[in-house]
């Protein structure tokens, strides 16, 4: 039986680097944002490369659920990278049987990064509220909530990824810390619009984040997002 490891992340996080990390595991297939096209089709939202995304993926949510979340594959593991704001409550029931974990980030940094790509956005676009709601649902269904914080992860990736694997009850492989720079076969068609920075990386390396200044127009949004961030932060893995 294939193990499905399900990452539920917000945007402008290191979720793609996390996908690359899990792609280094032996006999692990990865899937990049399977609900992206369905999300674009349902909302009508204008994202860079919208038409290419719609043509590259199944636009029907039920089809995605069947092909990605329900059918058995040929590898031992399947790693699914999902954006929380792409997910509808009708999908949550299918997550009960997966190994779910949440990747969070200081909302100040999410907002600053998002503003470089998308001009007009709000709380629903940041994913933190949806992450918390999904975590609450899964907890009520008896699942342990597993949360990783990017700000902590990048301080000592080796130790943190090992702790994450322990929380997920899977083996840690040192190979998860390194990969070749450049575009990768697991990338979605949208990579050219969103993955420029991660394509320059060669792995998860220790890094200290520098201080950032956020435009005052985002003050209210930051305060709203911070509430959900701190609620999720309470479930962060021990490392």
Q: What is the CATH number of the domain that holds 202?
A: 3.40.50.300
Structural domain tally of the chain? 1
Domain contains 107: yes
Residue of 179, 226, 171 whose CA lies nearest to 199: 179
Tens-binned pLDDT, residue by residue, of the chain (239 aa):
789 999 999 888 899 999 999 999 999 999 999 999 999 999 998 888 899 999 999 999 999 988 888 776 778 999 999 999 999 998 999 999 899 999 999 999 999 988 887 778 899 989 999 999 999 999 999 999 999 999 999 999 999 999 999 999 999 999 999 999 999 999 999 999 889 889 999 999 998 888 888 888 999 999 999 999 999 999 999 88
Tokens 């993926």 appear where? 57
Distances (CA, A) of 51 to 22, 117, 190: 28, 17, 10
Domain contains 22: yes
Alpha helices in 14-127 (DSSP H): 15-23, 36-43, 50-56, 61-64, 107-114, 123-126
Range of the domain at 121: 3-233
Domain contains 132: yes
């Amino acid at each position: 039986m294939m193990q499905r490891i399900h990452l539920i992340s917000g945007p402008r996080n290191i979720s793609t680097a996390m996908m690359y990390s899990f792609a280094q595991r032996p006999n692990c297939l990865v899937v990049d944002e399977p609900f992206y096209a369905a999300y674009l089709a349902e909302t009508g939202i204008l994202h860079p490369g919208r038409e290419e995304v719609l043509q590259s993926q199944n636009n029907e949510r039920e089809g995605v659920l069947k092909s990605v979340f329900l059918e058995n594959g040929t590898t031992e593991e399947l790693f699914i990278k999902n954006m929380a704001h792409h997910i509808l409550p009708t999908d949550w029931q299918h997550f009960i049987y997966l190994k779910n974990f949440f990747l969070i980030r200081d909302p100040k940094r999410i907002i600053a990064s998002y503003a470089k790509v998308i001009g007009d956005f709000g709380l629903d676009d940041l994913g933190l509220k949806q992450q918390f709601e999904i975590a609450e649902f899964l907890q009520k269904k008896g699942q342990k909530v597993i949360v990783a914080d990017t700000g902590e992860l990048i301080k000592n990736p080796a130790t943190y990824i090992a702790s994450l694997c322990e929380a997920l009850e899977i083996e840690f492989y040192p190979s998860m810390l390194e990969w070749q720079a450049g575009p990768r076969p697991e990338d979605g068609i949208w990579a050219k619009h969103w993955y420029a920075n991660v394509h320059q990386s060669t792995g998860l390396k220790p890094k200290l984040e520098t201080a950032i200044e956020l435009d005052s127009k985002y003050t209210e949004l930051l305060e709203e997002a911070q509430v959900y961030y701190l609620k999720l932060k309470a479930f962060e893995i021990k490392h």
